[in-house]
Amino acid sequence: MRLADYTDYTLRVLMYCAAHRERRVTINELAEQHQVSRNHLTKIVTDLAGQGVLVTTRGRGGGLRLRQDPARIRIGDVVRAAETDFRLVECFDPTTNACTLSPSCRLKRVLDSALSAYFKELDGRTLADLVPAAAQPVALPRSRRGVARG
């Protein structure tokens, strides 16, 4: 199974926004960062805004940002919304299934189980799991002034 580029870029947009929550991100910035066309990213951002995942602001000083906390955005939901087809084999679609093995084939059950496990894993992860936590200030060791060295 392979995710479409659209889904890959959708996840990248969300991860980048999650990593830069302190400010608005621009499509130009995303295009430069990921070497993806502006037009492609505009469609992705428009879709994510329509789904209520991103908030967009037009004009000078505009940009985009996450609408909700990254810990509330499940990766499984993002992938389901971005992908158009999870039909792993022909028999997954009863309207086009012409496989002569279907009546006795056990492959469909195995693949269906694998797909369920795939989504179970993705549903157990959030956007926050994909982005490193903000760097915490590191406590510097106390000064050793006044300590005799010897």
Q: What is the per-residue pLDDT for 119?
A: 94
Q: Which residue has the tokens 């087809």?
A: 85
Show the tokens assigned to 65. 């940002």
Of the candidates 83, 81, 85, the one whose C-alpha atom is nearest the C-alpha of residue 54 is 81
Give the model confidence (pLDDT) of 29-58 as tens digits: 999 888 999 999 999 999 999 999 999 988
Give the CATH fold of the 5-130 domain: Arc Repressor Mutant, subunit A (1.10.10)
Give the model confidence (pLDDT) of 52-102 as tens digits: 999 998 888 889 999 999 999 999 999 999 998 877 767 677 787 777 776
Which pTM does this prediction carry? 0.78
- Kindly report the backbone phi and psi dihedral angles of residue 55, in degrees, each rounded to the nearest multiple of 5, phi listed first: -115, 130
Give the model confidence (pLDDT) of 105-137 as tens digits: 788 788 889 989 999 999 999 999 999 875 333
| Alpha-carbon span 99 to 106, nearest angstrom | 13
- Kindly report the backbone phi and psi dihedral angles of residue 136, in degrees, each rounded to the nearest multiple of 5, phi listed first: -85, 140
Count the Cβ atoms, other than its own, within 10 Å of residue 67: 16
